[in-house]
Amino acid sequence: MARLPLAASLVLSLIGSASCKSNADDTTNGNVSDGPAEIQERVDATFAGLALATIANEQDNREALLKHPALAALVRHQQMSGNPSPDKEQILDGILASPWNTKSAASNLEYLRDREPELWEAALASSSYLPDGALIDGELFLIVGYDIGVASPPDMVLNVAHQNFVDEPAEFAFYATHEAHHVGFLSQREFPDLAHLDDPAALAALIAFSTQMEGMAVHAALPAREAANALGVDPDYAVYTDKEKANQTIDRYREVLGLLDGLDQVDGATINQVLGAMSSGERLWYQFGALVARQIEQESGRDALVGTIADPATFDAAATQLLAN
């Protein structure tokens, strides 16, 4: 995979642009409407299958993989997450060279083979936390060797070889809800410009946006996780059940935000420190954002929480209140 500046690579845990389109725009199969969100009912496991056959030296599928719309989705993900010129050959090389267990990946593909309707039902569950008209009209690609799951609107991607899914295959459904919520969210909101993160206002705007987007996606899977007694499987959900963990998360989020206080310009080391804590490092904007989402829903109802997608100032105000308390 192409080597990125650290600040850009940290932001790769974010999402691509909602304006991007892929081959999923073909509506041959039609769109299925279920609740306030729309989704084209389609799971595409062919990329993972082609990659597995290539790794096993059963056949050379490189050209087919390079032309696959799943790889195009990963290119868009990198473009809109900080890498202006991703090389699809390097992305593919990174996928094929990454250390993942082929037997486990094949086992997970088999696990999902008869569960595609359940996977789409899980994706559709995100509509409970999306406004009317939120559009989820792409495909869900099953791949190997890249992250755990990403949204690259209009598509979603899940990595069947990721250790989380190897350990707990039931996690596929919860991550489908999470990534589908991102796609619907981004059909309503424009992703922030990442070009000037040395500007404190631009970095703060990215943090606010990502706190809402990631926090609401975590929260969208809460009902299903509670029903399945699966809150303890994902560490992000500890903030719902462990008051001490919740308070630590609030304090740490406040502390990291404070690194920007009084700055006219943010140096590269501070950008990396802030994004590392907020995203894949300490996962603050996932966990603190989930706490904000829960507070809004508890105090004002689910409709009010959904309404913050169009009115982010209300979400920001609730975040400020939580930090103050």
Bigger pLDDT: 198 vs 16: 198
Q: Is the pLDDT of residue 92 over 50?
A: yes
User: Can you read off the two tokens belonging to residue 83?
Assistant: 């890498």
pLDDT classification of 6: cutoffs 50, 70, 90: very low
Determine the average pLDDT of the residues in 48-75: 94
- Residue predicted with more confidence, 309 or 35: 309
C-alpha dist (Å) from residue 222 to 17, 129, 215, 304: 26, 11, 11, 17
Nearest to 69 by CA among 138, 169, 168: 138
pLDDT for residue 291: 98
Q: Is 56 helix (H, G, I), strand (E, B) or coil?
A: coil
In a domain, 252, yes or no: yes
Q: Last residue of a domain, which of 156, 186, 216?
A: 186
Whether residue 165 contacts residue 159, with contact meaning beta carbons closer than 8 Å, is answered with yes
d(CA 301, CA 306): 9
Q: Identify residue 20 by its one-letter amino acid code.
A: C
In a domain, 194, yes or no: no
Q: For residue 292, name the pLDDT band (cuts at 50, 70, 90).
A: very high
Residue 191, in any domain of the structure: no
Q: How many domains does the chain have?
A: 2
On the question of pLDDT at 17 being above 70, the answer is: no
The whole-angstrom separation of Cα 65 and Cα 290 is 36
Give ∠ CA 184-212-207 in degrees, rounded to 5. Answer: 120
- For the chain, the average pLDDT equals 88
Mean pLDDT, residues 62-75 taken together: 97
205: CB partners within 8 A, 6+ apart: 192
Kindly indicate the confidence band of residue 25, based on its pLDDT and cuts at 50, 70 and 90.
very low
Q: Is the pLDDT of residue 172 over 50?
A: yes
The pLDDT confidence band at residue 276, using thresholds 50, 70 and 90, is very high
Of residues 67 and 194, more confidently modeled: 67
Structural domain including 71 reads: 6-186
Asked if residues 192 and 258 have their Cβ atoms less than 8 Å apart, the reply is no
**Angle ∠(129,133,191) on CA atoms, nearest 5:** 75
Question: What per-residue confidence (pLDDT) applies to 40?
Answer: 41
Over residues 234-249, the mean pLDDT reads 97
Examine the fold and report which residue of 139, 163, 186 is the final residue of a domain before the chain moves on.
186
Task: Show which of 155, 186, 217 is a domain's final residue.
Answer: 186
Looking at residue 41, what is its pLDDT?
Answer: 52
Q: Using one digit for the tens of pLDDT, what is the confidence trace for 107-119?
A: 999 999 989 889 9
Q: 34 and 158, same structural domain?
A: yes
Nearest partner of 100 among 108, 88, 89, judged by Cα: 108
221 inside domain: yes
Do 170 and 207 sit in the same domain of this protein? no
pLDDT for 96 equals 93
Same structural domain, 217 and 316: yes
